[in-house]
Amino acid sequence: MKRGALAALALALLAAGTLHAQPAAVQRQVLQRSAGPGEAQEVLLVKVEIAPGASTGRHSHPGVETGYVAEGEVVMEVEGEAPRRLAPGDSYLVPAGRVHDVRAVGDRPARALATFVVERGKPLAIPAAR
């Protein structure tokens, strides 16, 4: 490979690394992963943070999601239900496969602790069409 091409490749990789290092509007951190109640399931405990005004985007999960809001406030829209405003200490449950979206409201990030009981080997979140 020519020196100029190598320099361009190195610069592109450096720029890509810089973009990935920037904070995302929605951050998820898996705290624990364990076997589920069924052979084809797993349980994940996930810390979720949503920046002020940001949303998770419409999506579903291949299993149940339940959790509680630890900080900030959110509006949760679950398909087939009225939107709900959740504050610290409020809990929620999203049935398996149900499309939903969560948006942080106010000027503080929203933080939640979520537990997922999902099908092993499938993506945790599946984007949904509008």
Residue 119 pLDDT greater than 60, yes or no: yes
Confidence of residue 6 (pLDDT cuts 50, 70, 90): very low
Residue 94, judged by CB atoms within 10 A of its CB (0-12, 13-18, 19+), counts as buried
Q: Which residue has the higher pLDDT, 26 or 12?
A: 26
Predicted local distance difference test score (pLDDT) of residue 71: 98
β 59-60/126-127 pair status: antiparallel
Q: Which residue has the higher pLDDT, 7 or 19?
A: 7
Read off the pLDDT of residues 100-117 as tens digits, 9 standing for 90 and up: 999 999 999 999 999 999
Q: State how far the alpha carbon of 121 is from the alpha carbons of 15, 42, 96, 108, in Å.
A: 31, 9, 15, 34
Confidence of residue 8 (pLDDT cuts 50, 70, 90): very low
Structure token digits, residue 2 = 């020519």
CB count within 10 Å of CB 76 equals 19
Confidence of residue 98 (pLDDT cuts 50, 70, 90): very high
Read off the pLDDT of residues 71-87 as tens digits, 9 standing for 90 and up: 999 999 999 999 999 99
Residue 92 pLDDT greater than 90, yes or no: yes
Query: Residue with structure tokens 């690394």?
Result: 17
Phi and psi at 101, nearest 5°, equal -145, 145
